[in-house]
Amino acid sequence: MENLEGLLKQAPDLIMTYGLKILFALVIFFVGKYFAGVAQKVVHKLLNSRKVDPTVVSFVANLSWAVVFVFTIIATLGQIGVQTASLVAVIGAAGLAVGLALQGSLSNFASGVLMVLFRPCRVGDYIEAAGIAGTVDEITIFSTKLRTPDNKVIVAPNSSIMNGTITNYSASENRRIDLVICVSYSADLAQTKKVLTEILDNNQYVLKEPGYTVGLSELASSSINFVVRPWVKTADYWTARFEILEQIKNALDAADIEIPFPQMDIHVKQLPESK
């Protein structure tokens, strides 16, 4: 009974002491949460105004929100009397244990951060990486979504992409087409070269600069091989390649220049009859 009366007498002081702490803690929490949202919006707007890649904008904006919010939680717990130093140590130990258990996911996360920072490829680029090729649809923190030319969607872990060779076919504005055209040994070399150069001179996709190359590259076993190397816009690569090949075939046929089949000459030697 006496203990209850003592608690009742101390109640106003306890309410004043802990009530104010809880009130200030709530104020810190909601104000901090508000400023976390403000920080996210400001960073998002600032990076967009500088025309930064959308993937980078989203990642940095979310990271700024997370940093401010974590500091808000720590400040809130400190206000109500929780020993934040011990809490940070516990969180660190738990984070280490979780990190060891999720090494694969953390590797993908780290690779995603590197892809966002160094940007070996961007959304819309056509790349070849991790044994697959396609157009980059989306780069997230853990994976990259590629769309193949036949419209299949492939989701590849970021670590598999960053740990291998990345071939970015869209990185440059122009791209060279490499063709090998085989003609018969009976073909006139000067005429053949003239036919090939006229096709490139008149093709709508071939760029005037840096120019093209047409040259005799090899005297092969059954054909004479010319290299044809025009430069085109990267966006026109496949259209130009298909059109140039068709024009070369039609032009060589019209000029009676033979495109030989693979062939082999066999000489039969008759041995003299034994006596």
- CATH number for the domain harbouring residue 207: 3.30.70.100
| Structural domain contains residue 27 | yes
Most confident residue range from 3-17, 94-108, 181-195: 181-195
* Same domain assignment for residues 86 and 15: yes
Mean pLDDT, range 155-159, rounded to an integer: 90
Joined together, the tokens standing for residue 84 give 């934040």
| Structural domain contains residue 51 | yes
Q: What is the DSSP string of 201-216?
A: HH-SSS-SSS--EEEE
| Structural domain contains residue 261 | no
Rounded to two decimals, the pTM is: 0.60
Please tell me the total count of domains within the chain: 3
More confident residue, 79 or 167: 167
* Residue among 170, 135, 171, 142 at smallest CA distance from 156: 142
Q: How far is CA 234 from CA 151, 155, 239, in A?
A: 20, 25, 10
Mean pLDDT, range 212-236, rounded to an integer: 94
Domain that holds residue 146: 125-168
Examine the pLDDT at 54 and tell me if it is beyond 80.
no
Residue 198 φ/ψ region, left for φ over 0, alpha for ψ in the -120 to 50 degree band, beta for the rest = alpha
Mean pLDDT, range 15-31, rounded to an integer: 73
Residue whose structure tokens are 């309410």: 15
* Same domain assignment for residues 157 and 215: no
